Amino acid sequence: MNTAILNVLLQFVEGLISFEFYESIAPTKKKLRNFALITVGYMIMCAINLAFDYNVVVNLIAFVIFHFVFNFTLYKNKIIPSLIYTFILYAVVFFSEVMVIWVVSAFAEDEFYSFVDNSFQYLIVLSVSKSTMFFILKTISNIITKTVKKQKISFLLFLFPAILLITCGVFLIISFSLDLSYTLKILLSVLCVAILLVVVGSCMVQQRETQKDEELSELRAIKQAQETDNKYFEILERQNNNLMVYAHDTKNHLQAIRNMTDDESIIEYLERLTDDLNKYSYHASSGNHNLDVIINKYVTECEIKGIEFTYDVRLSNLSGVQMFDLVSILGNLLDNALESAEKSTGKSIHLQTDHRNTYDVIIVTNSCDTKPVTQGNALKSSKANKKQHGLGIKSIKSSLKNYSGDYNWEYNEQNKEFISTVMILRK
């Protein structure tokens, strides 16, 4: 069996393991594209290694360049994390190969790399090496992901990689300890590679199913949060209506009492009470009752928290947006703005709506003293429970799908302002 062919095969397996490692740490939606590009990258690296007769320096340079590109472009990691993951991967590859070859040489009481001439033993040795690599990387990725999510590490996660390593190790011992026939050597080496591919593939499928379950749980949480918000605004609207009716009736009673007296002190007192009751009238009058309810809710909250809240909804009253979606989009935008503005020194929020071509536009600008933390292109929550508190933006994007809409944000460092922009296709 040609050694070059074996190296191509094992390079493919290494690429598969590397892909599984990256997807374990930062799952992406474009898995097929990433897998194809990583595979192509590994085949190019294999060609480079064959061309330079597996020169260590060339191998290292090619590995670092390709994996840095994988991290930076495919998985949107920043420069430092990209370098860290690249060197972690190289260290694991180097360690697993050297350790396995050293152990095999010591066990066989032969020179380093002497088994290369025996294609079947070489295939099993490299399979054990890649199994070791897979086990170590699986351990690292499990620790990283569980630490980020603040979850306990389950030892069941290491079961498949551990069984793979033990099985390939047993095959390796058998291949060196027994005088096997040619057919058994072929069977043992092919079986070793097959088990390696099956276990790695199974872990990838398992990881994908876990990701799907997490996405499903997240969608349920978003829907539940949206339903809760809508119920809250329905209750709030009823309370506001009852309060306005009470305020209106009370102002009429006060006016009737005023007409009964000429005492200036009583009249002044009644006028002060009337002015106080005017606060319970709607601040906003956009022509969209649902929008007015939401705005008035945040006007009141901002008054309580000492935040200046201004709004301009004359150009668009978002009448084409259903109440359920309007609460989800605008409620989450203003909740995030309120939280940020409360912590800032400027303490201000401005809501503006506009028309742009065939879109209604919502722009929320709030004071924000510190630049937001990002992970790739996404905002990273600063709260303790990141899984729950990341639902706001996801809920906005979920509702925007009903309107072919889009959400963008930017941070103005000079003015210390966070600006959220939502585009909604008018129906």
- Dihedrals φ, ψ of 115, to 5°? -80, -5
Measure Cα distances from 156 to 89, 257, 399 in Å.
23, 78, 38
The tens digit of pLDDT for each residue in 139-156 reads 888 887 776 666 565 555
User: What are residue 409's DSSP bridge partners?
Assistant: 420
Q: At what angle do helices 159-177 and 79-108 cross, to 10 degrees?
A: 30
User: Tokens standing for 59?
Assistant: 């191998």
User: Tokens standing for 32?
Assistant: 């097929």
Nearest to 110, CA basis, from 125, 95, 96: 125
Entry pTM: 0.59
Report the pLDDT value the prediction gives residue 243, as an integer from 0 to 100: 61
Band of pLDDT at residue 244, cut at 50, 70 and 90 = low
Contacts of 394 (CB under 8 A, 6+ apart): 218, 222
Report the pLDDT value the prediction gives residue 363, as an integer from 0 to 100: 95
The tens digit of pLDDT for each residue in 69-101 reads 999 999 888 899 899 999 999 988 888 887 777
Which of 104-118, 144-158, 357-371 has maximum average pLDDT?
Answer: 357-371
Which of 159-173, 279-293, 392-406 has maximum average pLDDT?
Answer: 392-406
Cβ proximity of 277 and 250 under 8 Å: yes
Band of pLDDT at residue 367, cut at 50, 70 and 90 = very high
Nearest to 374, CA basis, from 401, 349, 409: 409
337 secondary structure, DSSP code: H
Report the pLDDT value the prediction gives residue 215, as an integer from 0 to 100: 66
Q: What share of the chain is helix, strand, coil (3-state, %, to 5)?
A: 70, 10, 20
Tell me: pLDDT of 105 over 90. no
Give strand ranges (E) for 291-399: 308-312, 348-356, 359-367, 374-375, 378-379
Structure-model confidence comparison of residues 4 and 284, the more confident one: 4
Nearest to 377, CA basis, from 401, 404, 403, 407: 407
Nearest to 423, CA basis, from 316, 331, 284: 316
Average pLDDT, the chain: 80
| Burial class of residue 377 in the structure, from the number of CB atoms within 10 Å of its CB (0-12 exposed, 13-18 middle, 19+ buried) | exposed
Q: What is the rounded average pLDDT of the residues 254-263?
A: 75
User: Tokens standing for 65?
Assistant: 């360049």
Tell me: pLDDT of 162 over 90. no
Report the pLDDT value the prediction gives residue 311, as an integer from 0 to 100: 92
Residue-range domains of the chain with CATH: 3-218 (no CATH), 288-425 (3.30.565.10)
Tell me: pLDDT of 112 over 50. no
Nearest to 22, CA basis, from 130, 140, 131, 128: 140
Tell me: pLDDT of 303 over 80. yes
Distance of CA 335 to the CA centre of its chain: 20
Q: What is the rounded average pLDDT of the residues 186-202?
A: 77
The tens digit of pLDDT for each residue in 40-71 reads 999 999 899 888 887 888 888 999 999 999 99
